[in-house]
Amino acid sequence: MAELGRLVLRSRAPGLAWRIPAALALVLVGKMAGVWAPVMLGEAIDRLAPTLGHVGHAASLGAGFLGLALGFAGLRLLAAVAPNAREAIFTSVSQATMARAATETFAHALNLSLDFHQSKQTGALARIIERGARSTDFLIRSLVFSLGPTAIELVLAMGVMAVRLDWRFAGATFLTIIIYTLTTFRITDWRLGHRRQLNESDSRAAGLSVDAMINYETVKTFGAEERIVTRYARAMADYVRASVQANTSLSLLNAVQAGILNVGLGLMVVLAGLEVLQGHMRIGEITTAVFLVIGLYGPLAMLGFNYREIRQAFIDMEQMVALTAVAPDILDSADSVNLPPATGQGANLRFEDVGFQHDARSAGLAQVSFEIPAGKTTAIVGPSGAGKTTVVRLALRLLDPQLGRVVLDGLDMRAIRQDSLRRAVALVPQDVALFNETLAANIGFARPDASMEEIRAAADAAELGGFIDSLPSGMTTMVGERGLKLSGGERQRVGIARALLANPRLLILDEATSALDGPTEAAIQATLRKVRTGRSTLVIAHRLSTIVDADEILVLRRGKVVERGTHADLLDQGGEYAALWRRQTRER
């Protein structure tokens, strides 16, 4: 509840300061009007009763009856209008709170580490954010505007019964509501297990479907459609089973609730009738009692639903809060600073005795040291699992070293503001990730303020010009989810264009031309050699022919630098690099 209150205050809804008290006042006014309306109706009937069989009395009592009847109608109207007015006033607050919860959780999730996202299913994570945000709106409406007002109405109604009718009516009503509430809570608690199974099966089915859609190409490649559909069908069968259990138990709850309420109402009517026969009550007071009880039964009928949904909403909100409680691995320190202005000569990058150990691997990086002087190119080669990807992630500060430090232009990366660092470093990965947007939007993602001319120039530099001109929609062509409408080589060229548009001082190429054909690769390599001017370059390569002109080549094995030097130096050494070169040149 405390977190919910803080979310409401952070919602920044327009008129927040007056909307909350106004909505609460309308709730109170509506409930008071709803309780007092039956009293006025009973008074009106009692005023009318003496006129039966006495025509002469009609004129004298008619005006009083008319006034009370109009008062009853007015109070009923006020009781009906107040919740709608409250809804109109408070909706902007509840919706702003829901939006704030979703935005904050989404932003926090984006700031979490790669390890976190690699261990989570995208669909399940999206559902946690979605359900958690929706739960805030439901909790506000249920706790503040449903259960709370119902409790107020109960106290007011029992007070009226005790003062104007008989304490036994208040006692009978209270006893009925206690039995109803306890029974509802017991059955609802039993039903929560079914609801939890329903949510788990729903999340599992959603995770499977999103995972399969994201990896559509892999599914098709291995002909696994039937296998994936079978798994999805199994998850949906679990969902159907849980849904049937949940709905059956709901029907049981509704039947028990209806039985308790109707038995209570019947006892109330019998008690009132006996009181009238004994001359202790008037006919109008029976109407008052019945309408008061019926007025209470309306919101009580939703008690089971509200209690169940509130419990579930708290579970959903707890999952969202637990997600926001996961601390990001990479944070700006309080004294972090921006990088110094670019010199136009490139960045100086140094790894100083860097060590990093992954939780899921036996080998990481161990005392890796190297330097990329401004304007120079350093290449890293080695077998899979040698630590090349870890070096890239450390250079991008997607990871922080556990030992040693990574220094960019004289500053420890941990002391640099992340937004400043991201503007200075650009990556062209082996598998370029694209948004389901236009070519122009995907290239321009690196610099949102870039003009169309600058975007086209970057595309031309990445050898995309001819391809774009061949498309009917040109730069406005949609690339599909994750760029699946493009070939692997086209996606890589888009990634290169995006990095070139960013104009970084440090360019990282992680197998950036692996999906290109020979002539295109040669053209791109020529382009990359040109764009290295004025910037430093870190190249991860398997094909050694792409790095023969690097200023320094490092050979990694099991997280350690085992060889270093120029291409010619390494060939002369006759070590691992020379053996790999001979093997690749023979294969060609």
Beta-strand pair 425-428/349-356: unpaired
Cα gap 400→414, rounded to integer Å:
7
Q: What is the Cα–Cα distance from 386 to 10, expressed in whole angstroms?
A: 47
**What's the token pair of residue 208?**
């499977």
Give the pLDDT score at 12: 72
Give strand ranges (E) for 119-263: none
Query: What are the DSSP calls for 341-393, one per residue?
Result: PP-SS---EEEEEEEE--TT-S--EEEEEEEE-TT-EEEEE--TTSSHHHHHH
pLDDT, tens digit, for every residue of 477-518? 888 877 778 887 788 888 888 888 888 899 998 876 665 666
Question: In sequence order, what DSSP letters do the residues of 13-38 get, joined into one string?
Answer: -TTHHHHHHHHHHHHHHHHHHHHHHH
- What's the confidence (pLDDT) of residue 435? 86
The 3 state secondary structure assigned to 494-555 is: HHHHHHHHHCCCEEEEECCCCCCCHHHHHHHHHHHHHHCCCCEEEEECCCHHHCCCCCEEEE
What is the rounded distance in angstroms from the CA atom of residue 232 to the CA atom of residue 238?
Answer: 10
Instruction: Find tokens 């007092």 and name the residue.
Output: 36
Task: List, for residues 223-236, the tens digit of each pLDDT value.
Answer: 888 888 888 888 88
pLDDT score of 121: 61
pLDDT single digits (tens) 257-316: 888 888 887 887 787 777 777 777 777 777 777 777 777 777 776 666 677 677 777 777
Residue 86 pLDDT grade (very low, low, confident, very high; cuts 50, 70, 90): confident
Give the rounded percent of residues in the chain with a pLDDT score beyond 90.
Answer: 11
Higher pLDDT: 519 or 460? It is: 460
Domains of the chain as residue ranges with CATH = 2-325 (1.20.1560.10), 349-587 (3.40.50.300)
Lowest mean pLDDT among 175-179, 213-217, 369-373, 451-455: 213-217
Rounded Cα–Cα distance for residues 232 and 536 (Å): 48
In this prediction, residue 122 carries a pLDDT of 63
For the segment 526-546, the average pLDDT, to the nearest whole number, is 81
**Type and span of the H or E element at 187:** helix 167-214
List residues bridging with 378 in a β-sheet. 538, 552
Confidence of residue 407 (pLDDT cuts 50, 70, 90): very high
End-to-end CA gap in the chain: 67
Could you tell me the CA-to-CA distances from 452 to 357, 447, 458, 469, 528 in Å, in that order? 43, 11, 10, 15, 22
DSSP letter at 428? E
pLDDT of residue 52: 47
- Write down the pLDDT at residue 373: 92
d(CA 173, CA 297): 10
Lowest average pLDDT, out of 84-88, 113-117, 318-322, goes to 113-117
Classify the phi-psi angles of 572: left when phi > 0, otherwise alpha if psi is within -120 to 50, otherwise beta: alpha
Could you give the C-alpha distances from 98 to 27, 138, 576, in angstroms and in order?
Answer: 21, 9, 58
Phi and psi (nearest 5°) for 13?
-65, 145
Query: Does residue 2 surpass a pLDDT of 70?
Result: no
The predicted pLDDT at position 103 comes to 79
The residue with greater pLDDT, 350 or 184, is 350
Residue 312 tokens, joined: 């579930």
| Residue found under tokens 């709850």 | 253
Please state, in angstroms and rounded to a whole number, the distance separating the CA atoms of residues 585 and 372.
28
Mean pLDDT along residues 45-53: 59
Q: What is the mean pLDDT of residues 137-165?
A: 77
The predicted structure's pLDDT at residue 116 = 66
**Which pLDDT tens digit goes with each residue over 420-474?**
888 899 888 877 888 888 999 999 988 888 899 999 998 888 888 888 899 888 8
- Tens-digit pLDDT profile for residues 347-380: 899 999 999 887 655 567 888 999 999 989 999 9
**Percent of the chain at pLDDT above 70?**
88
Q: What count of other Cβ atoms lies within 10 Å of the Cβ of residue 384?
A: 7
- Side-chain-side CA neighbours of 191 within 13 Å: the count stands at 25
Q: What is the dihedral of CA 320, 322, 325, 330, to 10 degrees?
A: -80
CA distance linking residue 321 with residue 105, whole number of Å = 8
Supply angle C-alpha 475, 477, 483, rounded to 5: 110
Six token digits for residue 231:
């798994």
Average pLDDT, the chain: 80
Give the burial class of 414: count Cβ atoms within 10 A of its Cβ; 0-12 exposed, 13-18 middle, 19 or more buried.
Answer: middle
Instruction: Give me the residues paired with residue 372 across strands.
Output: 349
Nearest residue to 496 (alpha-carbon basis) of 520, 463, 450: 463
Residue written as tokens 């039995």?
179
Rounded to two decimals, what is the model's pTM? 0.62
pLDDT single digits (tens) 569-582:
999 888 888 988 88
Residue 151 pLDDT level (bands cut at 50, 70, 90): confident
Which pLDDT does position 117 carry in this prediction? Answer: 65
Count of Cβ atoms closer than 10 Å to residue 557 Cβ: 16
Query: Phi, psi at residue 478, to the nearest 5°?
Result: -75, 135
CA gap 300, 360 in Å, rounded: 53
- Confidence at residue 53, expressed as pLDDT on a 0 to 100 scale: 47
**Integer-rounded Cα radius of gyration of the chain:** 36
Amino acid (one-letter) located at 397: R
